[in-house]
Structure 1
Amino acid sequence: MGAYEEKNTCGTICLKYLLFTFNFLFWLAGGVVMGVGVWTLVEKSDYISLLPSMTYAASAYILVLAGAIVMVTGVLGCCATFKEQRKLLRVYFVLLLCIFLLEVLAGVLAYIYYQQLNEELKQNLRETMINKYQKENYQHITRAVDKLQQEFKCCGSNSSSDWASSVWIRSSASNGRKVPDSCCKSVTEMCGLRDHPSNIYKVEGGCITKLERFILDHLKIIGAVGVGIACVQVIGMVFTCCLYRSLKAEPY
């Protein structure tokens, strides 16, 4: 007699199937959330190294964590729904609440960083390029800058003239280059010797404008995914509460 009795009402049965459907979709959404976070960290990790703060990366890490918990919670929710165990439903509700808070946090972090990104880039990207490019122990910065300039077809932080202040360009290690070879429209060894517009990218606004637009677009995705899934979870929590109340309390 350790098991509690079930109220075989139409409402309870409907709630069970609604919650099961929600959990299946929730599990799929968890995969999407985790995928967005992993994609941000893996595919664009080079650009993260050019940013002065870890807020952008933190938002992605939170999404990865939340996505993993969502997938586990989705399975737990299915078990709790069909076994109709109030204890499992309580655990499930607490996990939903934790994930909700994590995803709202990711969305808030993305929004905050969205507001301060322009100023941070203006203050730090040029300094990073001219002081750390081709320097020992900063190979990841060099790779990121080369990738940035080639992928976005730009040269320098604000303009190609920024490279005139570069520690590396002014040293003998540059072999007389005026800009890095990654500034060239067709990259070849030593092509950075010639900084004519026919040879290198001279884009108005430099790489700052391109990188800012790129990161803002990704912050919108991170924020939308985090807040969007969090809003959907409210429905799951409502269904869980309704099913929990429709079941008889387990006798002790």
Structure 2
Amino acid sequence: MSPHREIMDKPRGNCCQCMIKYTLFVFCYVFWVTSAVLIAVGIYAKVAKEGGVVDSLTADPALLLITIGSLMFIITFFGCFGALRNAVILLKLFLGILVAILLLQIAAAVLGFLFSDLVLDRTEQLMSKGIVRYREDMDLENLIDFVQKKFQCCGVDSHQDWSANVYFRCDEINPSLEGCGVPFSCCVRHKNETIPNTMCGYNVQNLEEASAAKIIYTIGCLGKMVLWGKRNLYLIAGMAVGLLGLEISMSCLAAAQMSHIRRKLQSDGNVY
């Protein structure tokens, strides 16, 4: 190769390496800031709760936000500063964790497909546990209300599931005014209704199915969510493929950055 060709190739290589370095940095920085926001929101929600605290990770949305945000913060810290400072150790940690997460996601998807019935049973147990703990945690209550409004459903399998909650339990010794009722988020919303009637679900568990269906949604949320997943299968698959593609791209960028640092150390006569 001629000296002129070598001079021409060197700026190109440096330009390409700068693109890899700062593209990886920008990706990691965006996720780093996002993780910090998740942690802040989770901490605020945890502190702002009135009294009751749910210690279960799967039943406490605030704790879930803090956990996911903390993991993202640590991982993207490695990638962000590893790319910016050309730190091989940080890039190694970032790449290793990212590959491990990628493999776990693929394994979870395969196991979820092979053991779909077990996944549904576990989901049903978690949703039933959420109904029992409704009103014990403000975030959990808001989450259940959102799901019931979004999917126009009530309970897990039917509106009768709310009898498992101490406030909505349907028996004669229950002193609660909401006994034999359901939350207002189960109620059918009419187009001309501007202010929701929070008492619309009172005593509906004592009504016949046809009569109750005129006031509330009697179909369970588990079936509605499964049906929504089947109808939006391509959307869910596209989002999953997009996430995997992003993770693979960041892994490739990290690997390319590490390879460049190794070549530079070797050309400078340093031992890697």
Per the normalisation by structure 1, the TM-score is 0.67
Say how many residue pairs are matched.
Answer: 221
Query: CA separation in 2, counterparts of 1:95 and 1:15?
Result: 23
Match of 1:4 in 2: none
Contact 2:153–2:218 under 8 Å retained in 1 = yes
Q: Does 1:178 align with 2:181?
A: yes
Q: Which amino acid aligns with 1:133?
A: Y
Q: Compute the RMSD of aligned alpha carbons.
A: 4.0
Q: Which runs of 5+ in 1 are unaligned?
A: 1-7, 78-91
* Residues 120-148 of structure 1 deviation map (CA, whole Å, 9 limit, x = unaligned): 2122211331x21124xx33322222222
Q: Which amino acid aligns with 2:88?
A: F
Query: CA separation in 2, counterparts of 1:140 and 1:168?
Result: 17
Shift of the alpha carbon at 1:181? Answer: 0.9
Higher RCO by CA contacts (8 Å cutoff, separation 6 or greater): 1
Match of 2:53 in 1: none
Question: 3-state DSSP class of the match of 2:214?
Answer: coil
Contact 2:82–2:88 under 8 Å retained in 1 = no
Shift of the alpha carbon at 1:38? Answer: 5.9
Given the superposition, is the C-alpha separation of residues 175 and 59 from structure 1 closer, same or farther in structure 2, using an over 3 Å criterion?
closer
Given the superposition, is the C-alpha separation of residues 162 and 68 from structure 1 closer, same or farther in structure 2, using an over 3 Å criterion?
same
Query: CA separation in 1, counterparts of 2:90 and 2:254?
Result: 11
Shift of the alpha carbon at 1:99? Answer: 0.3
Match of 2:199 in 1: 190
Q: Which runs of 5+ in 2 are unaligned?
A: 1-5, 47-56, 113-117, 190-195, 205-211
Q: Does 1:249 align with 2:269?
A: yes
Query: CA separation in 2, counterparts of 1:40 and 1:198?
Result: 40
Contact 1:12–1:243 under 8 Å retained in 2 = no
Q: Which amino acid aligns with 2:187?
A: C
Match of 1:155 in 2: 154
Query: CA separation in 1, counterparts of 2:98 and 2:162?
Result: 40
Question: 3-state DSSP class of the match of 1:133?
Answer: coil
Query: CA separation in 1, counterparts of 2:17 and 2:183?
Result: 57
* Residues 205-231 of structure 1 deviation map (CA, whole Å, 9 limit, x = unaligned): 5246528959x9599366554344223
Residue among 98, 101, 117 paired with 1:103 = 98
Tell me which moved more, 220-229 or 160-169: 220-229
Shift of the alpha carbon at 1:60? Answer: 5.4
Query: CA separation in 1, counterparts of 2:161 and 2:106?
Result: 30
Match of 1:85 in 2: none
Q: Which amino acid aligns with 1:20?
A: C
* Residues 129-188 of structure 1 deviation map (CA, whole Å, 9 limit, x = unaligned): 1x21124xx333222222222233321122222113332201332434521111113332
Query: CA separation in 2, counterparts of 1:233 and 1:100?
Result: 6
Match of 1:17 in 2: 15
Contact 1:156–1:163 under 8 Å retained in 2 = yes
Contact 2:102–2:244 under 8 Å retained in 1 = yes
Q: Which amino acid aligns with 2:252?
A: C
Query: CA separation in 1, counterparts of 2:245 and 2:254?
Result: 14
Q: Which amino acid aligns with 2:182?
A: V
Query: CA separation in 2, counterparts of 1:68 and 1:111?
Result: 24
